[in-house]
Amino acid sequence: MKLKSNDPCWCGSGAKHKRCHGDRHALLRPPVRLGRVSAPRPVPDAIPRPDYVTTGVISTPRTPQIQDPESLIRLRRACAVAAEVLIRTGEQVDVGRTTDELDAFAHDTYIELGAYPSDLHYRGYTKSVCTSVNGVVCHGIPDDRPLEDGDIVNIDVTAYIDGMHGDTSATFHVGTPSAALAGLVDTTREATLRGIAAIRPFEPLQRIAEAIEPFAESRGYSVVREYGGHGIGVTFHADPHVNHHIDRRDDVIVLPGMTFTVEPMLTSGPATFHQAADGWTEHTDDNRPSAQFEHTVLVTDSGAEILTITDDGRSAAARVG
Ligand SMILES: [Zn+2]
């Protein structure tokens, strides 16, 4: 059941939702206008590129990515690098920084760690991360807009190294967060972890959506349906499509060794959105904010393991346990 505006707020304050975490005025930020996008940044020749960059064609399989012990070692490395890039770039988020500056910092960090930024020149995209601010659901292009106090920004990082892609994202607060936005961000982080914790081998992929959607709705949020997670490994975007909303037609069964992303996008208003003129940026129709977290996970013999953490267990996105 979706929490309604006159219901008591989920946080236990005793106030109506619309006077507490569902306060529209506290949630609303000025619309994010598209800014100037800088030229693509160069990558040293010594760093290997994915096929779609070198040949312009994706030649790796679209089929579900199932790892063997050897490929898993390489995927773990790509995921650890992605986690490290996200942590360090997240530390750069501050009032007055532009998303282009975050892109530049992330770009240099990928290279320092020996990785290629998978986003760069993927299907015509020209930046090294996506930066989605406030009412931007996903695929925001880094530009010259300075971050403002009270904004939220999702940074989406994918690292390509040793022939593998590792994909992770997190939503960061800029300056001082409002309680309403903190509620959205915290709930999205928790929804991501609940979805991952629900994964079981030889059981439906839908367990993820069953863990995420009712939880999000119990707090008055909506789950984006048109975008989901994806298989990942040698291929950046592979099958299966991972729904975060319940879809009874989904009959995918997960298998040990499968690797895919879990990356729910939650909106504080209805989960309807439209694409900007740049062909990438997706804005909520009502301009109310949206948050997202993402991990690359491995299906194990008993559940799922988060791969997008550093070797010493750090993650900007969220950690298990
Ligand atoms: Zn509340």
Taking the complete model, does pTM exceed 0.95, yes or no? yes
Q: How far is the CA of 289 from the centre of ligand 1 (A)?
A: 17
Cα–Cα separations (whole angstroms), residue 123 to 53, 58, 119, 241, 292:
9, 10, 9, 19, 22
| Beta strands, E only, the chain | 116-117, 130-133, 136-138, 152-161, 164-173, 222-223, 229-231, 238-242, 259-262, 265-267, 273-275, 282-284, 290-292, 295-299, 304-306
Separation of CA 187 and ligand 1 centre (Å): 12
pLDDT tens digits, 122-167: 999 999 999 999 999 999 999 999 999 999 999 999 999 999 999 9
Percentage of the residues of the chain whose pLDDT score is greater than 90:
94
How remote is the CA of residue 196 from the centroid of ligand 1, in Å? Answer: 25
191 Cα–ligand 1 center, Å: 17
The SS3 assignment for 122 reads coil
The CA 32 to ligand 1 mean position distance, Å, reads 26
Compute the average pLDDT of residues 227-250.
Answer: 97
